[in-house]
Structure 1
Amino acid sequence: MLDAIYNALQSVGYTHPVHPFVVHVPIGMVVAVFLFGLGAWIFKKPVLAQTARHCSMLAVLFLPLAIVAGLMDWQYHYHGSWLTPIIVKMVLAGLLIAALGTAAFRGISKNIEIKRLIPLYFFCFLLVIGLSFFGGELVYGARGTTTPAKHTRAPVASSGSLVEQGADVFAKRCAFCHLTDSRKAKIGPGLQGLYQRKSLPVSKRSVTEENIRRQLTAPVKNMPSFPDLSQKEVRSLIVYIETL
């Protein structure tokens, strides 16, 4: 099911996660909830309090959709690997569901004073900041914020068809965790100049085609395995990595 969805998107050139399609709605609404609620309290404007309540309801409606999309991306792009940023995001998302649901439910009653909701709104706001930060950790990793990590087709150093096929496999399966133009770590180690090194970065085995194949089928630490890759795809991926 997931393969069919992502293959359909990739057939039209979209290789990015689907999570961003919907996540900005609940995030934007939570920010609006806090700001409108704060404005209603400071300026004594009931209309702003009502707007905050409406925004909280919209956020509650879209949050489950954003979470489902995030779980889909996690299963497809990260193969369900329990990376630290993902674990933290799951915890924060659970807290946000509880806090935002409580805020929306309590906000239905117009008898409650807005100042009693401000702490809850602020807590939701902090949770959104945390979710955004750890989402950025997944996208940028240790590389920092100066250059965005690439989720599109990785650079191809040769026009050979096998290299191009390998670049395509890398873009779809590896680019979310590894950089091709640096040795710096993202989620996993950067792969630039891998074949010029003495050993593989994590396993410390010698850099050979056999050991890279072994890494794909029996990985170490948090790297997921890729048993669904065909022998041709694995071969093309290795040929591409040789060009980095």
Structure 2
Amino acid sequence: MAEVKIIGSAASLFSVRVEWALKLKGIEYEYIPEDVRNKSELLLKSNPVHKKIPVLLHHGKAISESLLILEYIDETWKDNPLMPEDPYNRAMARFWAKFLDEKGLLGAWEACQAEGEEKEKAVEAAIQNLALLDKEIQGKKFFGGDEIGYLDLAAGWMCHWLSVLDEVGEMKVFDKDRVPSLHEWVQDFVHIPVIKESLPPREDLVNYFKGSLSYVRSLAANKQ
């Protein structure tokens, strides 16, 4: 029985960020693929509250929520630390990671779904959210300095998933002219072998988000 297991999905940026953390730490793990549209008994048992991926299983104990999992991994395996040592910098890393999930990612997805006049407003709002983070990475290779860390993993969805959302939503949230420092960071981040080898095929992501977008729009149409 593997000491460490991940219940996840290749299309899930939340799952992939956990894999990145384990690989950076050099931790061997067993990957358990989950069909999010037909949830397994293992997932429902391991995460009965939210019933979502990813879930990290360590010696049979379940930890859910990807950002919490990243911290758990960092505290459990001390080599190659992910979180900053300084308490203030740790707090800021947590702040921006939460901001990215709640405003950056959600804002991009809302812009992807929007249509007509609302789309332009949603795209602009999403860009403004990313512009705030762009200031945080100015003059740095990675958010923590010279080495990849916790906030880089939290922001890692921008290196692959964001351009897919732009394509599917026929928009341009990840505008190089508006967020130039983030674009430079993406180039450094995505060329790290551990990161690059864990990225799912782009075509698979495009098909996944096209299906998700069609589903969401069909639900909205049925409510009218």
TM-score, with length taken from structure 1: 0.27
Larger radius of gyration: 1
Higher RCO (C-alpha under 8 Å, 6+ residues apart): 2
* Higher helix fraction (1 or 2): 1
